[in-house]
Amino acid sequence: MKYLRNLLLRKAAIEEELYGCEQSIITCKEALRIWKNEYEPTLTNNVHHSQGIRNSSSGNCPSTRSQNASINFEIDGKQT
């Protein structure tokens, strides 16, 4: 996805030189749409997860296993 973003930004720069700002803006909007589709769900999930921990009644001691597999692995390793 990073390659596609870079390609679209390069295309926008070329279009600005050849056709002016109007076409370049359209291409930049397309790049933004692609970026949002790729990263916004991840960012939104991280915000909701952080809010859930902050608003939980148990404070900083979550009672469930982490959604991050590497954290669970570290915890499991300490228990054995």
Residue at 19: amino acid letter: Y
List helix spans (H) across 1-80: 2-19, 21-55, 69-79
Is 17's pLDDT higher than 90?
Answer: yes
Q: Kindly list the domain boundaries of the chain, sorted by start residue.
A: 1-54
With cut-offs at 50, 70 and 90, classify the pLDDT of residue 38: confident
Is 71's pLDDT higher than 50?
Answer: no
Q: What does the pLDDT average to over 48-67?
A: 51
DSSP state of 56: S
CB 12 within 8 A of CB 27: yes
With cut-offs at 50, 70 and 90, classify the pLDDT of residue 47: low
CA 30 to CA 50: how far, in whole Å?
Answer: 30
Measure CA 26 to chain center.
22
- The encoded tokens of residue 52 equal 């859930």
pTM over 0.75: no
